[in-house]
Amino acid sequence: MSRIGKLPIIIPEGTSAVISDHTLDIVGKKGELKQVINQTKLNFEIENNVIKITKKTEDRESASLYGLTRTLIANMIIGVSEGFKKELEFNGIGYRASVAGQVLTLSLGYSHPIIYQAPEDIQISVEKNKITILGADKQKVGQVAAEIRSFRKPEPYKGKGIKYADEVIRRKAGKTGAK
C-alpha cells in the first residue's frame, strides 16, 4: 500500500489546477504544465486548493499508478510555483562555456566547439565554471543536465570533465614509477 499516494497535494496561492479530458493542467507564475492522467484506475478531486487521489480498484496496476501519479502532480505544482534548478561544474585546462539566448557553446578540449540548443522552456546561464539550468518541468531540467554532462563525463584521474555540482568523483592514483 502506497503511503505517498495517500498524501494530499496542496495547491499554493497563485497556482491553479484543472482536470479535463484525461489531462491535468497546472498554471503558475513559472509557467504551465500538462500531464495525461489515468482516470480509469484513479479518482481525482480538487477542492479547497487540495488535490486528493484515490484508487478505484485494489488491483496491481492501480497500486503502481497511485504513488507515481501523486508524485508527478506534486512535482508539477512545485515546478510552476518555484521551479527546478540543476547546477553543473566543468573542470579542465582550456574548458569554457558561453550562452547566447538558448544556445550553449562549450569548448571541452575537442577539435571543435560543442553547440547545444536548449528547449524553449529551459533557461541556461554560465558563471565562471558553473552551468545553471532552470525550468518548471523537473524531467526536462534533469534531461538537459544529463545531455550537457554527457558531452565530457568526468574522468577519475585528473577530474576533468562536466559533473553535477553535488557529485563526488572518486579519484584514482595514476601510474607508479618503474623500480
Q: Which residues contact 3 (CB under 8 A, 6 or more apart)?
A: 67
pLDDT digits (tens, 9 = 90+) for 6-47: 899 999 999 999 998 889 999 999 999 999 998 889 999 999
Q: Which residues contact 77 (CB under 8 A, 6 or more apart)?
A: 9, 11, 12, 15, 17, 26, 28
Residue whose grid cell is 550537457: 148
Rounded to whole angstroms, how far apart are CA atoms 112 and 108? 9
Q: pTM to 2 decimals?
A: 0.89
Rounded to whole angstroms, how far apart are CA atoms 3 and 133? 31
Rounded to whole angstroms, how far apart are CA atoms 42 and 94? 54
pLDDT digits (tens, 9 = 90+) for 157-166: 998 999 999 9
Kindly tell me if the per-residue pLDDT of 1 is higher than 60.
no
Q: Do domains 3-81 and 84-164 have the same CATH topology?
A: yes
Identify which has the larger pLDDT, 142 or 39: 142
Map out the domains of the chain as residue ranges: 3-81, 84-164
Cα(first)–Cα(last) distance of the chain, in Å? Answer: 62
Architecture of domain 3-81: Alpha-Beta Complex (3.90)
pLDDT averaged over the chain?
A: 92
Q: At what angle do helices 60-81 and 138-149 cross, to 10 degrees?
A: 80
Instruction: List the one residue out of 34, 33, 67, 32 whose CA is nearest residue 53.
Output: 67
Q: Which CATH superfamily is domain 84-164 in?
A: Ribosomal protein L6 (3.90.930.12)
